[in-house]
């Protein structure tokens, strides 16, 4: 028997998170080997065909079970908290989706490359997706307050912390000394490289069409959030 605070859905979510981490990070690690055999575009398509359905299942399952388990706290009645959660969620997407700058590569229209950036959001943190995921998890954990959400946040953050090490390792293998020099001039912890003088924030680098795309996505998500909850609820998972 499962305790009330750790029902079967918690184990299922653990399995989904672990499976996604293995698939996503594993295929990233195999990228050089795979690209030598099938080419960069075909490997990108294969990567997407594995990762996107896996992520979709994970997201739908999360939506449908987010209130499972024990309610550790309930702060939803606090005035202004909903606005804070939405603001943090919006901020998280500006960190989570720097890859939108290379949409043609994501779609394999252009040849996918491993880039070594040191401008824009990378001046704030070398791993913006990790920072964005942490912000998103903090916002949603604050709002939901369930053991299921705590478990999900712990799993997502653990995966992204691993990805920090794994990503640096792959960049070092690809770029060698050039990456080590870039690593010295950047930081994982947000704004640390700026505060200690290694970087200077240049706001003009953020005036890019891609950020308009992210802002549009945030607006669309805000507008469609109730509908999204209704649609995912139809999946009997």
Give the model confidence (pLDDT) of 58-99 as tens digits: 999 999 999 999 999 999 999 999 999 999 999 998 888 765
Q: Give yes or no for a contact between 20 and 55, defined as CB atoms under 8 angstroms apart.
A: yes
Phi, psi (rounded to 5 degrees) for 127: -130, 75
Q: Label residue 107 by pLDDT band (50, 70, 90).
A: very low
Say how many CA atoms lie within 13 Å of 228 toward its Cβ.
12
Between CA 72 and CA 57 the distance in angstroms is 26
pLDDT number for residue 108: 42
- Rg (the chain; Cα; Å): 19
3-class DSSP assignment, residue 16: helix
Q: Label residue 119 by pLDDT band (50, 70, 90).
A: confident
Q: Where are the domains of the chain?
A: 8-233
The closest alpha carbon to 117, from 26, 205, 215, belongs to: 205
Q: Give yes or no for a contact between 233 and 63, defined as CB atoms under 8 angstroms apart.
A: yes
The closest alpha carbon to 13, from 64, 74, 82, belongs to: 64
What are the structure tokens assigned to 210, written together? 């891609």
Between CA 147 and CA 69 the distance in angstroms is 5
Residue 88 CB neighbour total at 10 angstroms = 17
What are 18-42's pLDDT values in tens digits? 999 999 999 999 999 999 999 988 9
pLDDT number for residue 6: 82
Q: Give yes or no for a contact between 100 and 129, defined as CB atoms under 8 angstroms apart.
A: no
Q: Give yes or no for a contact between 9 and 148, defined as CB atoms under 8 angstroms apart.
A: yes
The closest alpha carbon to 178, from 186, 51, 100, belongs to: 186
DSSP label at 191?
T
């Amino acid at each position: 028997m499962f305790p009330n605070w750790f029902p079967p859905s918690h184990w299922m979510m653990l399995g989904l998170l672990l499976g996604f981490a293995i698939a996503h990070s594993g295929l990233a690690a195999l990228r050089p080997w795979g690209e030598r055999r099938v080419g960069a575009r075909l490997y990108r398509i294969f990567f997407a065909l594995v990762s996107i359905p896996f992520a979709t299942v994970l997201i739908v399952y999360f939506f449908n079970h987010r209130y499972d388990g024990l309610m550790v706290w309930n702060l939803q009645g606090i005035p202004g908290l909903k606005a804070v959660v939405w603001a943090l969620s919006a901020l998280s997407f500006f960190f989570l989706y720097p890859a939108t700058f290379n949409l043609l590569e994501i779609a394999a229209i252009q040849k996918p490359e491993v880039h070594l950036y040191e401008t824009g959001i990378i001046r704030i943190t070398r791993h913006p997706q990790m920072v964005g995921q942490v912000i998103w998890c903090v916002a949603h954990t604050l709002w939901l307050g369930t053991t299921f959400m705590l478990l999900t946040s712990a799993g997502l953050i653990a995966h992204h912390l691993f990805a920090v090490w794994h990503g640096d390792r792959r960049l070092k293998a690809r770029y060698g000394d050039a990456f080590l020099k870039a690593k010295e001039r950047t930081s994982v912890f947000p704004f640390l490289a700026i505060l200690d003088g290694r970087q200077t924030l240049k706001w003009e680098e953020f005036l890019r069409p891609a950020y308009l795309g992210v802002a549009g996505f945030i607006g669309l998500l805000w507008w469609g959030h109730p509908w999204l909850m209704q649609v995912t609820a139809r999946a009997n998972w």
